[in-house]
Amino acid sequence: MDKEIANLRNEYSKAALDIHETTDNPVEQFRNWFDEARKALIPEPSAMTVSTASPEGRPSARVLLLKDITEQGFVFFTNYNSRKGKEIENNPFASLTFFWPELERQVRIEGKLEKVAPEVSDNYFNSRPRGSRIGAWASPQSEEIPDRDTLEIREKELKEKFEGQEIPRPEHWGGYELIPDRLEFWQGRESRLHDRIVYRKTGSGWSRKRIAP
């Protein structure tokens, strides 16, 4: 064992999480924590690990940015033909993980992914910088390419093609909304006796319990 790695640890003592101080609705609780992360000027507070799995159960994970919080769930955008998109098509269950080390907090969200309405994807796509819109067309995400030049040549061709006109959203690019059925709010505490509050979807709403660290 590499002792330098094994001995890496921080003691958490900034805050506590009492179940009676959490809201009845976990999406509202998430909004509260997300707002606190933004006010704390955390770099990329919307960065989250999106975990999917193949039909065989082989997991994969990557970091994306959260783009909306609705009453029902959490929205992000991607290439539908990417590895994640293909995994979602065959297995729509996924998880999101947020970690804000400056606040010693983590949120884990599990649920089912659904494509957002086309007009929602259109509206967000049109709000992106022009270069990002070109990039959505230029990159065959997750596919093998021979070299970097392939991307740059394709980008140049598309810039010329769309010069002086609006860039439409590609059909292979759009949003997903994760509709949660389980959320866990984790607050770091001393001696690794962390606070963990779990919400689970019930027929009439949400149950809320404390679990052991």
Residues carrying an active site annotation: 192
The answer to whether 97 touches 157, Cβ cutoff 8 Å, is no
Among 82, 19, 28, which Cα is nearest to 50's?
Answer: 82
